[in-house]
Chains A and B, each alone.
Chain A
Amino acid sequence: MAPLAPKTGDAVFASIDHVNAELFTLTYGAMVRQLLTDLEEVEEVNKQLDQMGYNIGVRLIDEFLAKSNVSRCVDFKETADVIAKVGFKMFLGVTASVTNWDAEGTSFSLVLEDNPLVDFVELPDTFQGLHYCNILSGVIRGALEMVSMKTEVTWVRDMLHGDDAYELRVKLLKQIPEEYPYKDDE
């Protein structure tokens, strides 16, 4: 059977169940506030958010692959496009743009102008070190790890810190060679 054609982000988004973005945003906000109260240190909160994102990414990739018909990406460039155009659209209803490739083609930036996580949010001065959306970087890292790519994801720009957009830097550290579960056959 020929592989199904990959769907566009819009097509997938149209075909799945939705919830109101405000419920999502406010729930996320409530969670961040709980973390700030519990952990007290902004750095710890960043770490915890990243960890939660990672946990999500590891599971989210399954749904992503199942619903988008996207198969193996030929190169990192395609990976970037798929994240920006299909991944973001499918889950958050927004698209990101891909820019600032380095010469080797191993790192790029995802730029978001619209970010459903931050509606109604203002960072007080005491939390300037907080990467409010750090969960997103964890999600990307976790999801890519499940498709054999070790990456490092960092925030470059953040509108909550006064920048004009959200920019995430994704750097490919290494491709993990495919390991077949040989043990099963032994």
Chain B
Amino acid sequence: MIGVGKIKHYTNLLEKPLSRGRQEVSLSAFAFLFSELVQYNQTQVDNIAELERRLEDAGYAVGARVLELLCHREKGNRRETRLLGILSFVHSTVWKVLFGKVADSLEKGTEHEDEYMISEKELLVNRFISIPKDMGAFNCGAFVAGIVKGVLDSAGFPAVVTAHFVPMEGQQRPRTTILIKFAEEVLRREARLG
């Protein structure tokens, strides 16, 4: 095949039909990949907080894209503008697509008006992870917190999102709670909308 050079055909990604998102890969493929992500980031940091921040960053990139994707596919190009709407979007739609089920619970913080919590008994990213003693409160859920933050931020609901282990009575493993603390402006806007 002399003279046949490489033809560069840039098909514009945005012109491709949106897949229905039913494709699956093995859980272990994801687990292997995620563990490499954690290990790589571990080599780039010298403390736990920094490691969590980097995992959150990685998750954030996922979240921003998930919002865009799901708004197109599941919501007919509409995006939630109300606080409860976006929260239930995260808790139900996002969770269902990414993790195959809705999150175990969505609660409002009792002490602070601006805090909400999404809890999961067995979070996907924590399933194959055991935290060495010397790493203290490190939580791989930071990655999922990042996803949630990415979705919320991109939807116009800036928030601080963190992941915590909460011990549960009678259970060997703690559950993971994703704590969402919305920025003041979000609550002000919400109050104005009534």
Chain A residues in the interface with B (C-beta under 8 A): 13, 16-24, 26-31, 33-35, 38, 48, 52, 55-56, 59-60, 63, 90-93, 116, 119-122, 135, 161-163
Return chain B residues, CB-CB under 8 Å to A121: 13
Q: Does B66 contact A (CB under 8 A)?
A: yes
Q: Does B6 contact A (CB under 8 A)?
A: yes
17 A-B pairs whose Cβ atoms sit less than 8 Å apart in the complex:
A17-B28, A18-B25, A18-B100, A19-B29, A20-B98, A27-B58, A28-B33, A29-B62, A30-B37, A31-B36, A31-B58, A35-B40, A48-B40, A91-B26, A93-B23, A122-B10, A122-B13
Return chain B residues, CB-CB under 8 Å to A161: 6, 8
Q: Tell me if A27 and B62 are in contact (CB < 8 A).
A: yes
Q: Tell me if B25 and A92 are in contact (CB < 8 A).
A: yes
Q: Tell me if A21 and B13 are in contact (CB < 8 A).
A: no
Query: Pick the contact of A13 from B19, B26, B57, B58 — CB < 8 Å?
Result: B26
Closest to B7 in A: A162
Return chain B residues, CB-CB under 8 Å to A92: 25-26, 29
Q: In terms of DSSP, what is the predominant structure of the interface of chain B?
A: helix
- CA A3 to CA B106, docked complex, whole Å: 49
Q: Tell me if B66 and A26 are in contact (CB < 8 A).
A: yes
Q: Tell me if B24 and A21 are in contact (CB < 8 A).
A: yes
Q: How far is the CB of B58 from chain A (nearest CB, A)?
A: 4
Contact with A along B18-59 (1 / 0, CB 8 A): 010101111111101110110111001000000000100111
Q: Tell me if B58 and A20 are in contact (CB < 8 A).
A: no
Q: How far is the CB of B158 from chain A (nearest CB, A)?
A: 20
Q: Tell me if A27 and B30 are in contact (CB < 8 A).
A: yes
- CA A56 to CA B9, docked complex, whole Å: 33
Known: A34-B57, A122-B13. A23 touches B28 (CB 8 A): no
Return chain B residues, CB-CB under 8 Å to A60: 28, 32
Task: Rank and list the top 10 A-B pairs by shortest CB-CB distance, nearest first.
Answer: A162-B8, A17-B27, A18-B24, A21-B23, A30-B61, A30-B58, A26-B62, A91-B29, A52-B36, A56-B32
Q: Tell me if B32 and A116 are in contact (CB < 8 A).
A: no
Interface size on B, residues (CB 8 A): 39
- CA A41 to CA B164, docked complex, whole Å: 36
Q: In terms of DSSP, what is the predominant structure of the interface of chain A?
A: helix
Chain A CB count within 10 A is highest, among B10, B24, B66, B98, for B24
Closest to B124 in A: A19
Q: How far is the CB of A176 from chain B (nearest CB, A)?
A: 24
Q: How far is the CB of B67 from chain A (nearest CB, A)?
A: 11
Return chain B residues, CB-CB under 8 Å to A135: 33
Chain B CB count within 10 A is highest, among A28, A135, A161, for A28
Q: Tell me if B40 and A31 are in contact (CB < 8 A).
A: yes
Q: How far is the CB of B129 from chain A (nearest CB, A)?
A: 15
Q: How far is the CB of B35 from chain A (nearest CB, A)?
A: 8
- CA A120 to CA B11, docked complex, whole Å: 12
Q: Tell me if B37 and A27 are in contact (CB < 8 A).
A: yes
- CA A179 to CA B44, docked complex, whole Å: 37
